Structure 1
Amino acid sequence: MAARFDVGADGWCHDVLRYDSPHADARPDGAAVTLLVVHNISLPAGQFGTPHVSDLFTGRVDYNADPAFADLRGLKVSSHFLVRRDGRVIQYVAGDARAWHAGKSAFQGRTACNDFSIGIELEGTDTVPFETAQYEALAALTLALQERYPLTDVQGHEHIAPGRKTDPGPLFSWQRYIEIWGRLLKEKAAGEGRLVPAYRQLRFPVGVPESQPKN
């Protein structure tokens, strides 16, 4: 059974681990949160379950822990959420704030996607399939964020920064994500039908069917 999440009025998700990141700031005035961006990350590359992703997002990297970390010096990045391989979720930045996850990016003619997006990192790589628990957590978190913010679109980092980024990669199944999201939406509709139409529509990357769960 998928986890259930609740995003509070302050933009922090209840019942997840919280590590506050200094790599965040205020969104521009009037910037509505309409885009969800899916990423993947592992530190060192291809190694899972380490503390280094959280250290990177919170500015506490031990640069001597791995030779590859020398390239991380001076890097200030963050994401709103990280979904571990076992489905556990960590939050670093409140949804109301701007995390520094997208970098140079554009979507539908708008640049600087950090201004209007929420970033979710999946612990993984472009070359390793993601776990069922991650899809379940991602889908449940998507629903919770839709209840709090006027999300209209989901994109991969590769879609908003083509040629520069490749994540979440070819082994991320958008269709599986959509199917689990649809199942959770149906379950929610059974008990809270009056709320469902407000966030039923969600557009996914070109080439992936729009989410239209059947009744």
Structure 2
Amino acid sequence: MTPPALGADGWWLPALRYDSPHADCRPDPADITLLVIHNISLPGGRFGGPHVSDLFSGRLDYNTDPSFADLRGLKVSSHFFIRRDGRVVQYVSANERAWHAGLSSFRGRQKCNDYSIGVELEGTDDSGYEPAQYQALAALTLALQTRYPLTDVQGHEHIAPGRKTDPGPLFDWECYRKSWQALLNQKAAEELALVGASAGLRFAKGLP
């Protein structure tokens, strides 16, 4: 069975909801065409803790780890966070603008936050990613396509070259695409009328 779609409110039922104050309205709510893949770990290289959710929700205790001092006052968020075991957390409705991309551009358009959805993977540039994360990302991607006119998937490194490097060289774009394609094929068997809008999604190849 294919993943459930997002609700009209932009929240995905399978995700754990953890609301972030770091979001606002999109300039054009109908203009959501880009999916951006990131990575994050707090502290760097350590997985499984509560600190990512604390950062995105504005509740991070900066005294917990010395490396958090540089994050003091930082107001960032992402729509989604996929943990190493494939669990998905959602902080911002996909209808709203999360603050994930920063200074960025794609195909001549600036301010990617305006028209993109951000997904953070728990990981680092040199850690690689777990099969469960690729499966969850593929399911989430397909769910997002049922509601928004997504046309492209890019890494943060592609929309902010020279400033960002994630999701990094160990992110397997082909594994991600194949996982998505398998779900899309299943969707086609179940809902033939809906598959056309999903088939044209363009994936980055891991190169700027």
CA 1:121–1:44 in structure 2 vs 1: closer, same or farther (change >3 Å)? Answer: same
For residues 110-149 of structure 1, the C-alpha deviation after alignment (integer angstroms, 9 at most, x for no partner) is 0000000000000000011100000000000000000010
> How has the CA–CA distance of structure 1 residues 56 and 3 changed in structure 2, closer, same or farther, with 3 Å as cutoff?
farther
Aligned to 2:40: 41
The aligned counterpart of 1:182 is: 181
Match of 1:26 in 2: 25
CA drift of 1:199 comes to 1.5
**What is the number of equivalent residue pairs in this alignment?**
207
* One-letter identity of the residue aligned with 1:34: T
Question: Could you say which residue in structure 2 is the equivalent of 1:15?
Answer: 14
Q: Which amino acid aligns with 1:4?
A: P
Deviation string 1:17-75 (CA, Å, 9 cap, x unpaired) is: 00000000000035510000000000000000010000000000101100000000110
Which aligned runs of 4 or more in structure 1 are off by greater than 4 angstroms?
A: none
**What is the rounded CA distance, in whole Å, between the counterparts of 2:174 and 2:64 in structure 1?**
37
Aligned AA (1:202): L
- State how far apart, in whole Å, the 2-side matches of 1:198 and 1:70 are: 45
Structure 2: gaps (5+ residues): none
Counterpart of 2:86 in structure 1 is 87
Give the distance between the partners of 2:187 and 2:175, measured in 1 at CA: 18
What residue number does 2:111 align with? 112
With normalisation by structure 1, the TM-score equals 0.93
Is the CA contact (8 Å cut-off) linking 2:38 and 2:119 kept in structure 1? Answer: yes
* Aligned residues of 2:22 and 2:98 also touching (Cα < 8 A): yes
- Report the aligned-residue RMSD: 1.4
> Would the aligned equivalents of 1:3 and 1:136 in 2 still touch at CA under 8 Å?
no
Partner of 1:193: 192
Change (3 A) 1:37 1:198: same
Aligned pairs (5 A) from 1:14-163: 14-29=13-28, 32-163=31-162
Question: What CA distance in whole angstroms lies between the structure 1 residues aligned with 2:91 and 2:98?
Answer: 8
Separation (CA, whole Å) in 1 of partners of 2:14 and 2:107: 34
Going from structure 1 to structure 2, the CA distance change for 1:109 and 1:197 (only over 3 Å counts) comes to: same
In structure 2, the CA distance between the partners of 1:31 and 1:191, relative to structure 1 (3 Å rule), is closer
